[in-house]
Structure 1
Amino acid sequence: MGGQRRIGILTSGGDCAGLNAVIRAVVHRAVSAYDWEVIGICRATQGLMQRPMDVVILDIPQVDSLLTVGGTVLGTTNKGNPFAFPMPDGTLVDRSAEIVAGYHLLGLDAIIGIGGDGSMAILRRLAQQGNWNLVGIPKTIDNDVGATERAIGFDTAVNIATEALDRLHFTAASHSRVMILEVMGRDAGHIALSAGIAGGADVILIPEIPYSIEKICEKIEERQQRGQNFCLMVVAEAVRTETGESITQVQCQGEQRLGGIGHYLADRISTCSGAETRVTVLGHIQRGGIPSPLDRLTAAAFGVAAVDLIAEGKFDQMVTWQNRQIVSVPIESAIQQYSTVDPNGTWVKTARGLGICLGS
């Protein structure tokens, strides 16, 4: 793929720390090594849907200060599937052809899409429909994209949750309370498990492992008998009730979102153990802020590798981190392998080995 080329880049799905560091790495590699032009596409595929299109030319001076900036300067969205796009009158319309046309109107030779499994599936479908040259970069604080050990944003989210546990520890000890920290994790418990181990939690609940209130109360009582009259507990938002029901909250626009399992557990634990409980819901704080050094490193490696894949003419691929190196895999295989916590995996065994109660 010689000569000057024009490539696009977009961020799709929920924001997280490290996205701007990826954009910076892509621009540096594309401009410095290949003398390509980089077009930033704003608000994910919606930028290609607009006429005129919502895009910006990216150069090195423009992105050089983005390494530590949270969020995404290109904007993003996790709403509006282009194949069933919600219109003002409430109808759903297939607007994929408009997005496909946008790619060609811009004269793009390739596009880099940064997203999770849902975004990757949509982008790949658009690429197949419109004959795009697509390379994917995985990002999600949940770290649940298949085929990669790391996704952009996960490490920062774990750091923030761990710091929250560190801070809650002192209040828990001062007031002899059970402090419950509810963290994000739409379907997987990676954040809760990693932060719980790193933050010294006594109880960790994740959706992959069934639990009982009795087991949790036994752990609290065991600690009380040892003279430890407080308890730190971290729970993933996707954990269900003991009867298998999801706890959700209705948003102002009528949308239902996960949230509330912490308060559900607090009531039952208080009744069962007699302990005074308090709940902290960390929410979107986990997504924001300055990316951790590891997320910056991963972003740099992913961004450079994605540009190099384009130069090599390797498309329909996603860059991944496996065995301490970058490996590219077909996007199709990556999104088919949903990565939840392995109940028999290393981190679960580590938690149990430390005496942490997993509710079972």
Structure 2
Amino acid sequence: MSIGILTSGGDCPGLNAVIRGAVMKGDKIYEQEFAGIRDGWRGLIVDDVFSLPRRRVRGLSKEGGTILGTSRTHPYNGVGGPDAIRAVMERHGMEGIIAIGGEGTLSGAARLAADGLPVVGVPKTIDNDLSGTDYTFGFDTAVSIATESIDRLRTTTEAHHRCMVVEVMGRHVGWIALHAGLASGAHAILIPEVSVTLAQITEWVLLTQARGRAPVVVVSEGFQLKNDKGELEDIAAERGLDAAGRPRLGGIGEALAPLIERSTGIETRAATLGHLQRGGVPTAYDRVLATRFGHAAIDAVMQRKWGQMVALSGIDIVTVPMAEATKELKTVPRKQWDEAAVLFG
């Protein structure tokens, strides 16, 4: 018998550390064999599976990306579903699946578990938006990359006395923007959870300039501007849908920069960090958290905790029901943004 491992959805620093943690402990403590599933649920549907021995995962914790590959294939697509997946599992003697992914991946895994498949989840997303865990691995790396990038942009902005608008990822939550903005000393942080007007942004920018500083505005890709009537304005260009049918976000920084320039008279540039935040080696924190998640995931499999997700609670690794962990996004509380807003302008 073997245990299957897959990584699904967007890539994320720390995925390889989870794989290594699960395989190393599974081999050493439980004497289990592992099967790597290529490209997420796609590999489990079309039977793209290979042997994953311990020697294959040596030294993986520091490597970015995922050796298994990933895709946004849903387990309940046209040719998928529990019966097709169960047949592939039986063919390879898999007694359980460790599914590493974000909200979409784990929602699918929870549905499979409800249909009787032996699945354990591991939370992965740079967005930190899963409600069942205090932190997800990948988030710390994304914040570190964004912070360093903002620090670098600051020097050129100061040299030219410009305003810089820096767009970061996060989809419909503002965790990356909030943490990177605070760490880099941004003069305004714009997040999806709190809509503000152009007049308010203008005030912060002008106050910053009046103090002799070059304003830096950090904006999360899901932010929406509020007009004078209190209505939300979608000022970013439509970018279509991704493979999972979700709207592609991005472009708010490019759209916001000329508005700020017109309202303040300050030359304003925009920089979109994009996939830089998801690439490269994971931070030490993410390597440790991902390894602990991998260890906990194999423990959960051996204890037959199907339908459960490993999670961080304080400093402890626990298990929580996947269905509960994915039913709503973990958004930034208004109180945390208000604490940051004291420093704006």
Fold equivalence (TM over 0.5): yes
1:170 equivalenced with 2:150 (yes/no): no
Shift of 1:198: 0.6
2:41 touches 2:74 (CA, 8 Å); kept in 1? Answer: no
Which AA in structure 1 matches 2:232? G
Aligned to 2:269: 278
Identity across matched positions, percent = 43
- Normalising by structure 2, we get a TM-score of 0.93
Structure 1 regions of 5+ residues with no counterpart?
Answer: 86-92
1:17 touches 1:152 (CA, 8 Å); kept in 2? Answer: yes
Aligned to 2:218: 234
Specify the SS of the correspondent of 2:225.
coil
Aligned to 2:141: 156
**1:237-248 superposed matches below 5 A:** 237-242=221-226, 243-246=231-234, 247-248=236-237
Aligned to 1:344: 335
1:113 equivalenced with 2:99 (yes/no): yes
For 1:82 and 1:336, locate their aligned partners in 2 and report how far apart those are by CA, in whole Å. 18
Which AA in structure 2 matches 1:32? K
Number of residue pairs matched? 338
2:16 touches 2:63 (CA, 8 Å); kept in 1? Answer: yes
Specify the SS of the correspondent of 2:291.
helix
For 1:95 and 1:27, locate their aligned partners in 2 and report how far apart those are by CA, in whole Å. 26
- Shifted more, 240-249 versus 202-211: the winner is 240-249
Which AA in structure 2 matches 1:128? A
1:261 equivalenced with 2:252 (yes/no): yes
Query: Cα deviation per residue 1:41-70 (whole Å; 9 max; x = unaligned)?
Result: 1111111222xx211211222111211111
Specify the SS of the correspondent of 2:62.
coil
Aligned to 1:68: 62
For 1:7 and 1:253, locate their aligned partners in 2 and report how far apart those are by CA, in whole Å. 30
Shift in alpha-carbon separation, 1:108–1:188, aligned structure 2, 3 A: same
Specify the SS of the correspondent of 2:90.
helix
Query: Cα deviation per residue 1:284-326 (whole Å; 9 max; x = unaligned)?
Result: 1111100000100100110001111122222211111111111
Shift of 1:344: 1.6
**1:169-208 superposed matches below 5 A:** 169-208=154-193
Which AA in structure 1 matches 2:344? I
Specify the SS of the correspondent of 1:7.
strand
2:20 touches 2:57 (CA, 8 Å); kept in 1? Answer: yes
Shift in alpha-carbon separation, 1:69–1:341, aligned structure 2, 3 A: same
- Normalising by structure 1, we get a TM-score of 0.89
- Shifted more, 247-256 versus 262-271: the winner is 247-256
Aligned to 1:291: 282
Query: Cα deviation per residue 1:246-275 (whole Å; 9 max; x = unaligned)?
Result: 424436999851111111111110110001
For 1:329 and 1:11, locate their aligned partners in 2 and report how far apart those are by CA, in whole Å. 19
Query: Cα deviation per residue 1:320-354 (whole Å; 9 max; x = unaligned)?
Result: 11111111111111112420111123xx243134x
For 1:227 and 1:356, locate their aligned partners in 2 and report how far apart those are by CA, in whole Å. 14
Shift of 1:81: 2.6
1:186 touches 1:238 (CA, 8 Å); kept in 2? Answer: yes
Query: Cα deviation per residue 1:199-248 (whole Å; 9 max; x = unaligned)?
Result: 111110000001111111111211222222x1111100001233424424
Which AA in structure 1 matches 2:248? R
Aligned to 1:89: none
1:147 equivalenced with 2:132 (yes/no): yes
Which AA in structure 1 matches 2:221? E
2:36 touches 2:49 (CA, 8 Å); kept in 1? Answer: yes
Shift of 1:94: 5.5
1:248 touches 1:258 (CA, 8 Å); kept in 2? Answer: no
Shift in alpha-carbon separation, 1:253–1:136, aligned structure 2, 3 A: closer
1:81 equivalenced with 2:74 (yes/no): yes
Aligned to 1:219: 204
Which AA in structure 1 matches 2:216? L
Which AA in structure 1 matches 2:137? I
Which AA in structure 2 matches 1:303? G
**Corresponding residue to 2:114 among 113, 128, 150:** 128
Which AA in structure 2 matches 1:60? R
1:319 equivalenced with 2:313 (yes/no): no
For 1:99 and 1:315, locate their aligned partners in 2 and report how far apart those are by CA, in whole Å. 15
For 1:96 and 1:6, locate their aligned partners in 2 and report how far apart those are by CA, in whole Å. 18
Aligned to 1:49: 45
Specify the SS of the correspondent of 1:258.
coil
Query: Cα deviation per residue 1:58-94 (whole Å; 9 max; x = unaligned)?
Result: 122211121111111101112x334234xxxxxxx66
Shift in alpha-carbon separation, 1:319–1:94, aligned structure 2, 3 A: closer
Structure 2 regions of 5+ residues with no counterpart?
Answer: none
2:165 touches 2:271 (CA, 8 Å); kept in 1? Answer: yes
